[in-house]
Amino acid sequence: MSENKLLDLSFEFAVAIVNLVDGVTAPKSAYMTDQLARAGTSVGANIYEAQYAQSKKDFVAKLEIALKESNETSYWLKLMCETKRIDTATYQYAEKLCGNIRRLLIASCKTAKEDK
C-alpha cells in the first residue's frame, strides 16, 4: 500500500465497481450499470487527477468533484440493491468503501481550504 490512503482506497473502489458492474446479469439493467460505472470510476480518476492540480483551488475543485461523484455512486448502489440488481452483501461492501472515501475527501477538502 502506498503512503496515500485516499489514492489506494479510490483505486480499490474503482476495481470493486468494475467487478460489480461486470457481474450484473439482471435484464434491463444497462442504464443503471452504465451510470454506476461512470460515477464510481470517476471518484478515483478525479482523486488521481488532483495529485497534479495546477493550484490549491484546482486541487480542492477536483476533490469536490470526486465527492459529488461518490454521492452519486451511493445513489446508484442503493437503487441497484433495492431493485435486486445486486445483493445486500455486495451493496454493503461497495457502500462501506464509498463512505470511507467520502469521509477522507471531506477531511482533505477541509484541510486544503484551511491551509493558506
pLDDT digit string (tens) for 53-64?
A: 999 999 999 999
Q: Which residues of the chain have pLDDT under 70?
A: 1-2, 116
Sequence-ordered list of residues with C-beta below 8 angstroms from that of 105, at least 6 positions apart, any chain? 6, 47, 63, 64, 66, 67, 70
The greatest distance separating any two alpha carbons of the chain, rounded to the nearest whole angstrom, comes to 51
Query: What percentage of the chain exceeds 90 in pLDDT?
Result: 92
pTM of the model: 0.92
Q: Say what the pLDDT of residue 39 is.
A: 98
- Residue ranges of domains in the chain: 5-114
**pLDDT for residue 1:** 47
44 CB-near residues (< 8 Å, 6+ apart): 7, 10, 11, 13, 14, 66
CATH placement of domain 5-114 = 1.20.1440.60
Burial degree of 17 (CB within 10 A; 0-12, 13-18, 19+): buried
